[in-house]
Chains A and B, each alone.
Chain A
Amino acid sequence: MPQALEYFLMSWTDPSLLGLIAAGTFAGIYIGALPGLSVTMAVSILISFTFTWDVNAALALMGGVFCGGVYGGSRSAILLNIPGTPAAVATAFDGYPLAKLGEAGKAIGVSTVVSVIGGYLGILVLAIAAPMVSEVALMFAPRDYLLLAIIGLLLVGSLSGDSLAKGLFAAALGVIIGMVGLDPLTAEGRFTFGLVPLLNGISYVAAMIGFFGVAEALFQIRQLGTAGVKQDVSRILPAWRTVFRFLPLSIRSSVIGVIIGALPGTGGDIAALIAYDQAKRTVTNPSRPFGQGAYEGLVAPESANNAAVGGTYIPMLTLGIPGDAVTAIMIGALFIHGLKPGPLLMVETPHLFWFIVGGLVLANSFLLVFGLTGIRLFTRVAECPRGILIPIIILLSIIGTYSIQNSMVDVYWMLAFGILGYFLKVYRFELGPIILGVILGPLMDVSFRRAILSQEGSTLGLLSDLVSHPISAALTAAAVLLVLNQTPLWRRLRRPGRVAAL
């Protein structure tokens, strides 16, 4: 154990490692905040950049960028309604309304603090329970991923605003967008019309930037005359009281985040969506109604996506299996530096584990510092005159979309989605469910078919599996409960109970 402590503190006492983590975290925040620049991209660039470095230095820098980037996505989600990263989609649901109310400063303050809380909790789980969690993660069968996707999609019910039909339509449209391209299992073309540019499908980041960023920018042209929202910057640091109030929700969301992050097939984006759903269902008296600037709607996804960072390291360090796209690249980095990521990594190079844990704790501490400074400057963005802000948002959206995979096809899609999104907004459709469909649809499709194929194509066999395995049974029960809970019958049953409880 003293040796573990020594490794843990390695990055704390070495000035150059300390500096690298600080620099990585700082850069990560801005990479995350810019739509289209992703942590995945930054970390893959860093691989060749750090090729000749010592492995510890490379991992320190990458860890910092990872933590900073996941957090940074919330900045643009709150200020501009463009999630900087897919993991920040849910953050925009309540974060942007807060900026419209002039509370962007406080929103960023709160999201910083809960991000760091989530980050620490994720690392704590990584440090004390990594082998156990990875065992559980391996037990998730294709059918369980299917159930997770279903649970995530049930969020449509709470995101649909006043019309469930419109919400369902939007979600199904999102699913269809996610289906375009060659089917990953059989390589059959779907909605490709034999056109090569369509074979690779539509990047979900392009859909996200179009439906959120460009649609919102176009919509704002209608309100050109009105000035930018004056932001209240008097109370940026959240009071201890506020933090304690949100702490239980933050912890619950972090637990969701770390588990979903640890699953090899899912990452921070799905974690944040499910945590948001959870918050919406369990918080009985939010600071404002959800979707109109509830701080609870900010706390849940931001805790969850940062907790997911710790989670994604779990399968990577214990089994050599990537928890998401970023850790997949880090595994490559370990290989390049002569290490052997696999089940024996922790046995043969135990110092690596504690070094990474120590580095992540440090990165999250830097996150608190960098996140809480300079907020005043950031909130100016929301105060910017619309006439200047709109062209910049559009330009960033276009370049950001292009840079996902250097593809103009993505830009055309993004633009089409922006224009379609504008009309949908005018006719009072919620756009959140579309992104939900784009993110979860492909996971649901592939998991469903894989689950059926494991049962020799028998749907009946799949159904019996859903109740006979412990994890599946628990997830099935959760899904059924969530559906019931949205029906009028349930509400009627529940109402007298609640009155009695009061």
Chain B
Amino acid sequence: MTNSPPLPGERGFGYALVAASALILWLAFGISGLSSASSAGAFPMAAAAVMLVSAIGIVHRNRRRPHSPRPPTTAPRSVRTGTDILPREVALYMAILIAYVVSLEHVGFLASTSVFLLVSLWQLHRRSAVTLLAVAIGVLLTIQMVFGTLFQVQLP
């Protein structure tokens, strides 16, 4: 597997990891500098250093792998057949998810959750409207019962 050509965007992802690790290391250094082994920043710095070194290792490995226009045969089918790493429906669903979580705080639990359930069921399942509605209501009621009533979770 290690000698298979990298997936689309894999090299870029590696560089992003190196950059993120370096940033975290710098932040960790800012906690208490190099004062002592028992300081609050010592352990985060060690962990960030491990991140940085292993991220560099990952990039190095990627560079050594042959670059081929054809995706590897060992990758999941969707990766092999599509050139993209983020299929359209996954990206769309991520957007729906973020919109839902943001609206939770502002619109309230019941309203935003009903909309989210209907939209995502329609997006992913595509059956008759009655089925979708039945599933959405069933799920919503169950969750309200178990979390809201039984466990007194104050849903947002």
Q: Chain A residues near B79 (CB, 8 Å)?
A: 426
Q: Chain A residues near B93 (CB, 8 Å)?
A: 218, 221
Answer whether residue A387 sits at the interface, using C-beta atoms and an 8 A cutoff.
yes
Identify which of A171, A391, A396 gathers the most chain B CB atoms within 10 Å of its CB.
A391
Give the shortest distance, in Å, between B129 (CB) and chain A (any CB): 14
CA distance A387 to B93 in the complex (A): 12
The closest CB in chain A to the CB of B51 belongs to A172
User: When the two chains form their complex, are residues B90 and A221 in contact, meaning their CB atoms are under 8 A apart?
Assistant: yes
Answer whether residue A190 sits at the interface, using C-beta atoms and an 8 A cutoff.
yes
> Which residue of B40, B90, B125 contacts A188 across the interface (Cβ within 8 Å)?
B40
State the A residues within 8 Å of B (CB): 34, 37, 41-42, 45, 162-163, 165-166, 168-169, 171-173, 175-176, 179, 183, 185-186, 188-191, 214, 218, 221-224, 385-388, 390-392, 394-396, 398-399, 402-403, 406, 408, 411-412, 415, 418-419, 422-423, 426-428, 437, 441, 444-445, 448-449, 452-453, 457, 459
Q: Chain B residues near A386 (CB, 8 Å)?
A: 124
State the B residues within 8 Å of A (CB): 1-2, 7, 10, 13, 17, 21, 24, 27-28, 31-32, 36-44, 47-48, 50-51, 53-55, 57-58, 61, 76-79, 85-87, 89-90, 93-94, 97-98, 100-101, 104-105, 113, 116-117, 120-121, 124-127, 135, 139, 143, 146-147, 151-156
Q: Chain B residues near A168 (CB, 8 Å)?
A: 50, 53-54
The closest CB in chain A to the CB of B31 belongs to A190
Additional 17 contacts, C-beta under 8 A, given A395-B116, A423-B13: A163-B58, A165-B57, A169-B51, A176-B24, A188-B40, A189-B31, A190-B40, A218-B93, A221-B89, A224-B89, A387-B121, A391-B117, A391-B120, A395-B113, A402-B155, A403-B151, A459-B37
User: When the two chains form their complex, are residues A422 and B155 in contact, meaning their CB atoms are under 8 A apart?
Assistant: no
Q: Chain B residues near A171 (CB, 8 Å)?
A: 50
27 contacts between A and B (CB under 8 A): A165-B55, A168-B50, A169-B54, A172-B54, A176-B28, A186-B40, A190-B28, A190-B41, A191-B27, A191-B31, A223-B76, A223-B78, A224-B124, A391-B120, A394-B97, A395-B116, A395-B117, A395-B143, A403-B153, A411-B101, A422-B94, A423-B85, A426-B79, A427-B7, A428-B1, A445-B44, A449-B39
> Which residue of A34, A172, A399 contacts B155 across the interface (Cβ within 8 Å)?
A399
The closest CB in chain B to the CB of A412 belongs to B101
User: When the two chains form their complex, are residues A457 and B156 in contact, meaning their CB atoms are under 8 A apart?
Assistant: no
> Which residue of A176, A388, A457 contacts B38 across the interface (Cβ within 8 Å)?
A457
Known: A188-B31, A415-B97, A422-B90. A408 touches B58 (CB 8 A): no
CA distance A400 to B117 in the complex (A): 16
User: When the two chains form their complex, are residues A172 and B47 in contact, meaning their CB atoms are under 8 A apart?
Assistant: yes
The closest CB in chain A to the CB of B121 belongs to A391
> Which residue of B2, B27, B31, B39 contacts A163 across the interface (Cβ within 8 Å)?
B2
Give the shortest distance, in Å, between A255 (CB) and chain B (any CB): 30
Q: Chain A residues near B126 (CB, 8 Å)?
A: 387
User: When the two chains form their complex, are residues B44 and A190 in contact, meaning their CB atoms are under 8 A apart?
Assistant: yes
CA distance A214 to B97 in the complex (A): 10
User: When the two chains form their complex, are residues B40 and A183 in contact, meaning their CB atoms are under 8 A apart?
Assistant: yes
Give the shortest distance, in Å, between B137 (CB) and chain A (any CB): 13
User: When the two chains form their complex, are residues A452 and B124 in contact, meaning their CB atoms are under 8 A apart?
Assistant: no
The closest CB in chain B to the CB of A452 belongs to B38
> Which residue of A172, A179, A396, A422 contacts B50 across the interface (Cβ within 8 Å)?
A172
User: When the two chains form their complex, are residues A34 and B47 in contact, meaning their CB atoms are under 8 A apart?
Assistant: no
> Which residue of B7, B53, B154 contacts A406 across the interface (Cβ within 8 Å)?
B154
Q: Chain B residues near A396 (CB, 8 Å)?
A: 143
CA distance A399 to B151 in the complex (A): 12
Q: Chain A residues near B116 (CB, 8 Å)?
A: 391, 395
CA distance A247 to B17 in the complex (A): 44
Q: Chain B residues near A422 (CB, 8 Å)?
A: 90, 94
Q: Chain B residues near A402 (CB, 8 Å)?
A: 153, 155-156
- In the A-B complex, the 4 residue pairs with the smallest Cβ-Cβ separation, listed nearest first, are A387-B125, A165-B57, A387-B124, A172-B50
User: When the two chains form their complex, are residues A165 and B54 in contact, meaning their CB atoms are under 8 A apart?
Assistant: yes
Give the shortest distance, in Å, between B153 (CB) and chain A (any CB): 4
CA distance A477 to B139 in the complex (A): 52
Q: Chain B residues near A223 (CB, 8 Å)?
A: 76-78
CA distance A163 to B139 in the complex (A): 40
> Which residue of B44, B100, B135 contacts A176 across the interface (Cβ within 8 Å)?
B44
Q: Chain A residues near B86 (CB, 8 Å)?
A: 426
CA distance A444 to B47 in the complex (A): 11
> Which residue of A183, A399, A423 contacts B143 across the interface (Cβ within 8 Å)?
A399
Q: Chain A residues near B21 (CB, 8 Å)?
A: 169
User: When the two chains form their complex, are residues A179 and B47 in contact, meaning their CB atoms are under 8 A apart?
Assistant: yes
User: When the two chains form their complex, are residues B48 and A172 in contact, meaning their CB atoms are under 8 A apart?
Assistant: yes
Q: Chain A residues near B54 (CB, 8 Å)?
A: 165-166, 168-169, 172
The closest CB in chain A to the CB of B78 belongs to A222
Give the shortest distance, in Å, between A161 (CB) and chain B (any CB): 9
Known: A168-B54, A386-B124, A412-B101. A34 touches B146 (CB 8 A): yes
> Which residue of B85, B135, B152 contacts A388 across the interface (Cβ within 8 Å)?
B135
User: When the two chains form their complex, are residues A399 and B147 in contact, meaning their CB atoms are under 8 A apart?
Assistant: yes
Give the shortest distance, in Å, between B132 (CB) and chain A (any CB): 9
The closest CB in chain A to the CB of B118 belongs to A391
